[in-house]
Structure 1
Amino acid sequence: MFILPKNVTIIEVGPRDGLQNEKKHVAEKDKLQFIRSLQEAGIHEMELTSFVSPKWVPQMADAKAIVEKSERVGRQFVLAPNAKGAELAQESNANSVAVFVGVSDSFNERNINRSTDESMDALDPVIAKLKNDGVFVRACISTAFYCPYEGKIKQEDVLELCRKFVSMGVDELSVADTIGMANPVESYELFSSLKKEFPTILITAHFHDTRKMAIANIFAALQAGVDRFDTSAGGLGGCPFAPGATGNVATEDVVNMLDSLGIITGIDVEKVCIAVDGISEHVSHPIETGMYRLYKNSNR
């Protein structure tokens, strides 16, 4: 018999992770409507935007306006890759900030031009200041299973990086299968180890659906005791530094699975599909997730 959590929290990453690499410019008003629609669906934790250089990520140039104009419903995250980003986030009155580091040096260097150790050294004072100012800090750990340049990642390397983040005082560890290569056994083993070693830290699983195994990996993580998952409405997203990686697992498909298992999320699948429908005309590729297709077919 499976032992599964009774409640699960979904952290919606579509507005940030889903749109940041979108080639087609998405207007501020359309992003805000997307966020509002997702909140109306019952989503209370969300990545809104990222305070990064508009030169490198032009889609996030409106970060300040997005934070200031979004309704504060639950915990709303902004991504801050460095001290400047964290400063801008705080100036916009963001009360939840996400930082990120890859376990793999190769991935990290291609992403932010620093080794993993160099990144951690730079983030130490940033996290200290955020925590001193009462900000909730989420640490996003990329390439926790496989790296597109180095191959399989050792579990102990993931645990060691998480230990460093925990020692810095972060509130949450979001651990990612960045290129979507993990299998359910690997998911269960890593998340079981994380839950055992960090019982007082929020542990979140982040899966990409490159090989269509994200749902299976989520089920395995549920069995390991994980009750927080990053998902993206419409399966939007991808990573420019991870060749071959496709979008995040779709919010509507994950919530549908959880509903079928009797696990409570507080999220309305149909309303998520309405949000997806609203953003679909503003992205450069068709959205073809399972539940969204059913929604479209039933509303013809």
Structure 2
Amino acid sequence: MPDSGYAPQYGPSQGFVEICEAGTRDGLQIESQIIPAAEKIALVDAMLDSGIRHVEVTSFVSPRAVPQMADAEEVLRGIRKRADTNLMALVPNLRGAERALTTPVDGGVLLISASETHNRKNLNRGIDESLESFPAVAARLRDGGKEVLGGVAVAFGCPFEGEVDLDGIIRIGQVYASLGVRHMTLGDTTGMAAPRNVRRTLRALRAALPSMEFTMHLHNTRGVGLANVLVSLEEGVRRFDSAAGGLGGCPFAAGATGNICTEDLVYLLDESNWTTGIDLEKSIAVAKRMETLLGRALPGQVMRAGPRLRLHAVDAVPTAAG
């Protein structure tokens, strides 16, 4: 895995933090411009070259609902995997599981929302219906040699219902645990997470589900995405989703905007003395590639400023006069 050429040395590492890149799934799913499969494959290959090990590549959803994900099989088959590569995809139903089994995807993510209204908007079914469908989907994935992971959308607040019920999230987690799921992603789908409810939610879930490992899927909708990362680290989380350039958002949730930026997250962790195994300059290059592909500026900040210790020629900047 490549080493970042710039990572500061302030003392011993605080430990390893896993970053899961979701740019080609959660990042692109909201885009009306259909990106060719070859471009998606090249993006994932570049992500892997930067040192990313886990990529949530795509979704096995209906092409009518999310046209951007219609090429899921082609994209997954075209990626150049390394020995340590873990490719994941959303698998919302049994039909999705059957499609996943025809590809080299390593894991399928079951998905449900913490609120009834968003679950019906996003998955066109109620929470109980989703929970009842999970055993068959999980069994089909496992029969095909795929890992099963769990996800919870709008885990920190719903744009339709407001605050979500912590007991409801715990119930979902208990169902996942009963299916042998070890990794559960908490999705901040519309950026309603803030340090206070992040800490409260993580503490409640850790108390109720002590064997579960949590991934934070944070958005920067209200500008506190990286603050929520710091609180999550304090609460013991060591795995985060992010998207190159800060792209993304759920097409079935009001006010959804981009994920926390991969390169901004790598920078924060490097400067906080955590180890990621990701080369920041290569991560920035991926974000710029995504920006060029979409033909518009993306919200990432480190991709503009560069690493903290990037130096500039003195004669490239005018001198004050007068």
TM-score range, shorter chain: over 0.9
Q: 2:58 aligns with which of 46, 49, 70?
A: 49
| Cα distance in 2, alignment partners of residues 240 and 97 from structure 1 | 21
Larger mean CA deviation between 8-17 and 282-291 belongs to 282-291
CA deviations on 1:58-116 (whole Å, 9 max, x unpaired) are 11111111111112232110111110111101111322111210010000011111011
Shift of 1:8: 0.4
| SS of equivalent residue, structure 2 residue 187 | strand
Query: Distance between the aligned counterparts of 1:298 and 1:173, measured in 2?
Result: 41
Runs of 4+ aligned residues of structure 1 deviating over 4 Å after TM superposition are 296-300
Residue of 301, 305, 315 corresponding to 1:290: 301
Contact persistence 2:247–2:299 (CA under 8 A) = no
Equivalent in the alignment of 1:11: 20
Shift of 1:288: 2.9
* TM-score, scaled relative to structure 1: 0.94
| 1:88 to 2:99 alignment | yes
Residues 174 and 5 of structure 1, relative CA distance in 2, 3 Å threshold: farther
Q: Does 1:183 align with 2:194?
A: yes
1:1-300 matched pairs, under 5 angstroms: 6-73=15-82, 74-283=85-294, 285-295=296-306
The code of the aligned residue for 1:76 comes to L
Q: Is the 8 A contact 2:101 2:144 kept in 1?
A: no
Give the letter aligned to residue 226 of structure 1: V
Conserved 8 A contact 1:194-1:203: no
CA distance in 1, matches of 2:124, 2:311: 47
How far did residue 40 of structure 1 move? Answer: 0.7
| TM superposition shift of 1:298 | 8.0
Rg bigger for which structure?
2
Which secondary structure state, in structure 2, belongs to the residue aligned with residue 238 of structure 1? Answer: coil
Q: Is the 8 A contact 1:24 1:284 kept in 2?
A: no
Paired residues, number: 297
Structure 1 contact 7–263 (Cα < 8 Å) conserved: yes
* Aligned partner letter, 2:60: F
Listed as ranges, the gaps of 5+ residues in structure 2 are: 1-12, 317-322
- The percent of aligned pairs where both chains have the same amino acid is 35
Q: 1 CA distance for matches of 2:123 and 2:99? A: 18
Extract unaligned runs of 5+ from structure 1: none
AA aligned to 2:148 is V
Question: What letter corresponds to residue 72 of structure 1 in structure 2?
Answer: K
Letter in 2 for 1:71: R
How far does residue 201 in structure 1 lie from its aligned partner after superposition?
Answer: 2.6
- Cα RMSD between the aligned structures? 1.9
| 1:203 match: secondary structure | strand
What secondary structure does 1:229 align onto? Answer: strand
Deviates more, 1:288-297 or 1:24-33: 288-297
Instruction: Quote the Cα distance in structure 1 between the aligned partners of 2:134 and 2:119.
Output: 14
